[in-house]
Structure 1
Amino acid sequence: MQITESRVITAEPDRVWKIGGDTANVADWVPAIEKSTQRGDLRHATFADGGGEAIERIVEHDDQQRRYAYDYVSGPLPLRSYRSTFAVNDHPDGAQVIWDAEFATASAEDDAALAQAIAGIYRAALDELAKHVAATQK
């Protein structure tokens, strides 16, 4: 299953990347995550409302291309595989953030439900990222 969420943020791409590309501090702008830390290439993300902790491995991080990718290692979600990519691209109105994921669960029914949940998390996070970027421009 694959999902993609995108948002144009009216700000310089490097400003958006400074916040969005900081892999250790995603809890600052992802509402579904209440706490995040990173040791080496492993990021620990604690989901809000007692949702448990996920461990993700940052498998690629490129400041020049403003892009990173991560794999889900373990946690509360019923995933067989999960790779997500977060990228900040140039756009005539500022920056286009593209966040996508390709994943598989044990069943097609779980895939569809999880795709809807992840897309909602990504949309809410991109809205919050836009607010954080706007606050740093004042």
Structure 2
Amino acid sequence: MATIYKEIWIEASPELVWDVVRDAGAVHKRFVPDYTAETHFDGVNRQIHFSNGNIVKELIVTRDDEQRRMAYAVVETKMPLQHHHASFQVYEDSGGRCRLVWITDFLPDQLAAEIQIRVDRGAEVMKRTIETEARNNV
């Protein structure tokens, strides 16, 4: 099973970053706007419409406020995934910043290059979006 581990250093409080991450129904507004166009969330199941037309259905496995951790699994997508599970966890750092760790496990391994591109692009958008929100809330 392939794993992609991504650390994203964000100039924002861990409280703000966690608030954005845990807001599972607002991915298209607060987390990765422009990369995503629409999100539907019923409290457990989430459907994300990407700007490229792709639709991904996910199961939100957990949202743990104490650990600032959210885990999810892709249950339907156009990609030929056999398995997909990922998590985000927010860690406090000094100086008004924090570290967002995104871990993605998936099969088949042959999708690693494509998924890495998506994770890298998503991480760029997350960082920019959350830092903009942090500056606007000052």
Normalising by the smaller structure, the TM-score range is 0.7 to 0.9
| Amino acid across the alignment from 2:3 | Q
Off by >4 Å, runs of 4+ in structure 1? none
The structure 1 residue matched to 2:101, chosen from 75, 94, 98, is: 98
- 2:119 matched residue in structure 1: 119
- Equivalenced residue count is 134
Give the conservation status (yes or no) of the 8 Å contact 2:10–2:127: no
Residue in 2 aligned with 1:5?
A: 6
**1:33 — aligned with what?**
36
Does the 8 Å contact 2:16/2:134 carry over to 1? no
Query: Does the aligned pair in 1 maintain the 2:20–2:130 contact within 8 Å?
Result: no
Deviation at 1:127, TM superposition (A): 2.3
For structure 1, which runs of at least 5 residues remain unmatched after alignment? none
CA separation in 1, counterparts of 2:17 and 2:115? 25
- Deviation for aligned residue 1:20: 2.1
Percent identity over the alignment?
25
Question: Are the counterparts in 1 of residues 61 and 70 from structure 2 also a CA contact under 8 Å?
Answer: yes
* Aligned-CA RMSD value: 1.8
Cα distance in 1 for residues equivalent to 2:113 and 2:12: 33
Q: Which runs of 5+ in 2 are unaligned?
A: none
Please report how far the alpha carbon of residue 26 of structure 1 lies from its aligned counterpart in structure 2 after TM superposition.
0.9
After TM superposition, the structure 1 = structure 2 runs for residues 1-138 of structure 1, keeping only pairs within 5 Å, are 1-28=2-29, 29-30=31-32, 31-50=34-53, 52-93=54-95, 94-105=97-108, 108=109, 110-138=110-138
Residue type matched to 1:76 in 2? K
What are the Cα deviations for residues 73-112 of structure 1, in whole angstroms up to 9, with x where unaligned? 001222110001011111123211111101112xx4x323
- Name the stretch that deviates more: 65-74 or 18-27: 18-27
TM-score (norm 2): 0.85
CA shift at 1:129, angstroms? 3.3
Whole-angstrom distance in 2 between the partners of 1:5 and 1:89: 13
